[in-house]
């Protein structure tokens, strides 16, 4: 069942989204060559505790970590690992879900470790642009397929990348994963109609080569590209409104001004950013 959120519920999700966005701002200060991917997990756990946020991935279907940390050819659901040392030129995706007072938020961001090769920077730029192209389709009256169609056309037809099919976006609130499923591929005019008050994630996962994933890892979680190409992902939680899509996990309310639901978000983000910066100093 798809639930439409009230202004009170959206405000609660804004707060949770700001808490999650501030984690990503903190990660910018600590992701660098020479750290293990486990440091990302350590920072996230300490920050969430300090911020009063709950790491919802811990215990979800047996998953043991607050974050998914996927590197280079890993598409998603990579474990944070003490022996995985980040190198200059790596591409790291950090995905997590948190709740604050019962309100959920979900966001993934990609990070260049030091300076990356031009072709990897292009992959990051195209993937991020495709995220916003998909978000721009999130208006009442459009259909789910409109979101995926613009992402697929831009990433595959225009840029020659692979648009992952095995993993998709989803509704969110009152739990981590709700209906509807939100593919980042598809056809215009297909799927359910979008309505004011729906809260969903848009999260394109784009590969340098084939769209196909290798899910044979013994962990049952980690997915890699089938051909060894590199993969990039960006994800926002958003609410569909009659005034357009409003992002609930923005890391920059000024740059995302057209996507802001109200002035509360920036206030929430300033509060959580201060906490994240204090925790990040322990890892610098």
In a domain, 2, yes or no: no
pLDDT tens for each residue of 157-215: 999 999 999 999 999 999 999 999 999 999 999 999 999 999 999 999 999 999 999 99
Q: From the annotation, which residues make up the binding site?
A: 77, 95, 106, 170, 177, 203, 235
C-alpha to C-alpha distance for 32 and 284, rounded to whole angstroms: 9
- Which pLDDT value is given to residue 274? 98
Torsion over CA: 259, 41, 128, 105 (sign):
negative
In a domain, 269, yes or no: yes
In a domain, 170, yes or no: yes
- pTM comes to 0.98
Q: From the annotation, which residues make up the binding site for a divalent metal cation?
A: 95, 106, 170, 203, 235
In a domain, 1, yes or no: no
- Which pLDDT value is given to residue 177? 96
In a domain, 98, yes or no: yes
- Which pLDDT value is given to residue 12? 98
- Which pLDDT value is given to residue 172? 98
Count structural domains, the chain. 1
In a domain, 35, yes or no: yes
In a domain, 113, yes or no: yes
DSSP 105-149: EEEEEEEESSSPPHHHHHHHHHHHHHHHHHHTT-STT-BHHHHHH
Per residue of the chain (284 residues), what is the pLDDT tens digit?
899 999 999 999 999 999 999 999 999 999 999 999 999 999 999 999 999 999 999 999 999 999 999 999 999 999 999 999 999 999 999 999 999 999 999 999 999 999 999 999 999 999 999 999 999 999 999 999 999 999 999 999 999 999 999 999 999 999 999 999 999 999 999 999 999 999 999 999 999 999 999 999 999 999 999 999 999 999 999 999 999 999 999 999 999 999 999 999 999 999 999 999 999 999 87
In a domain, 173, yes or no: yes
- Which pLDDT value is given to residue 1? 85
C-alpha to C-alpha distance for 57 and 162, rounded to whole angstroms: 27
- Which pLDDT value is given to residue 70? 98
- Which pLDDT value is given to residue 131? 98
- Which pLDDT value is given to residue 132? 98
Q: From the annotation, which residues make up the binding site for substrate?
A: 77, 177
- Which pLDDT value is given to residue 284? 79
- Which pLDDT value is given to residue 190? 97
Count, residues in the chain: 284
Q: Tell me the CATH number at 230.
A: 3.90.230.10
Domain that holds residue 99: 7-280
Residue 186, CA distances (Å) to 52, 152, 213, 231 in order: 38, 7, 18, 19
Backbone angles phi, psi at 252, to 5 degrees: -145, 85
Q: For residues 156 and 205, is the Cβ–Cβ distance under 8 A?
A: no
- Which pLDDT value is given to residue 195? 98
């Amino acid at each position: 069942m798809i639930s439409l959120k009230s202004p009170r519920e959206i405000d609660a999700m804004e707060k949770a989204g700001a808490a999650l966005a501030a984690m990503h701002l903190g990660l910018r200060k600590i992701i660098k060559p020479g750290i293990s991917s486990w440091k990302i997990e350590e920072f996230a756990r300490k920050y969430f505790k300090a911020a009063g946020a709950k790491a919802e991935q811990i215990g979800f279907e047996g998953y043991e970590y607050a974050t998914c940390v996927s590197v280079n050819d890993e598409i998603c659901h990579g474990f944070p690992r003490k022996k995985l040392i980040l190198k200059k030129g790596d591409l790291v995706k950090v995905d997590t879900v948190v709740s604050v007072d019962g309100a959920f938020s979900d966001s993934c961001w990609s990070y260049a470790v030091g300076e990356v090769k031009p072709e990897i920077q292009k992959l990051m730029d195209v993937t991020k642009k495709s995220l916003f192209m998909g978000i721009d389709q999130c208006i009442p009256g459009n259909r789910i397929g409109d979101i995926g169609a613009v992402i697929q056309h831009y990433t595959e037809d225009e840029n020659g990348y692979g648009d992952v099919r095995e993993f998709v976006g989803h509704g969110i609130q009152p739990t981590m994963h709700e209906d509807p499923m939100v593919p980042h591929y598809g056809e215009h005019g297909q799927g359910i109609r979008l309505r004011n008050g729906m809260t969903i994630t848009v999260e394109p996962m784009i590969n340098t080569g084939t769209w196909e994933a290798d899910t044979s890892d013994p962990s049952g979680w980690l997915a890699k590209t089938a051909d060894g190409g590199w993969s990039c992902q960006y994800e926002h939680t958003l609410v569909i409104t009659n005034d357009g899509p409003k992002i609930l996990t923005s890391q920059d309310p000024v740059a995302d001004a057209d996507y802001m639901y109200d002035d509360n978000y920036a206030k929430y983000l300033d509060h959580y950013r201060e906490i994240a910066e204090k925790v990040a100093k322990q890892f610098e």
